[in-house]
């Protein structure tokens, strides 16, 4: 399956780390979405618990603010 992300989302994502696996299409290296609230807040299980510009800690869990990751999950449930 080919995954396409809208140009506007890609432009907003460029401000994040260059090694963003979601941006590169490396979905097997992306954090797993474990819960999504209203299509806007995406709680994730990080692949590696390390500092990432896209991860925001929330108690014992974290959520992702990466526009590309959010669109991939919202459109394709991946």
Q: Report pLDDT digits (tens) over 44-66.
A: 988 765 567 788 888 988 999 98
Predicted confidence band of residue 20 (pLDDT cuts 50, 70, 90): confident
CA dist 48 → 3, 12, 33, 51, 71 (Å): 24, 24, 14, 9, 21
Q: What is the mean pLDDT of residues 9-24?
A: 73
Q: What is the pTM of this model?
A: 0.81
**Residue ranges of the domains in the chain?**
7-76
- As a whole number of angstroms, the distance between CA 38 and CA 27 comes to 22
The mean pLDDT value of the chain amounts to 83
């Amino acid at each position: 399956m080919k995954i396409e992300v809208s140009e506007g989302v890609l432009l907003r994502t460029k401000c994040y780390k260059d090694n963003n696996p979601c941006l590169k299409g490396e979905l097997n290296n992306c954090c797993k979405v474990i819960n999504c609230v209203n299509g806007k807040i995406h709680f994730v299980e990080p692949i590696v618990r390390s500092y990432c510009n896209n991860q925001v800690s929330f108690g014992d869990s974290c959520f992702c603010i990466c526009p590309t990751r959010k669109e991939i999950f919202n459109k394709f449930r991946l």
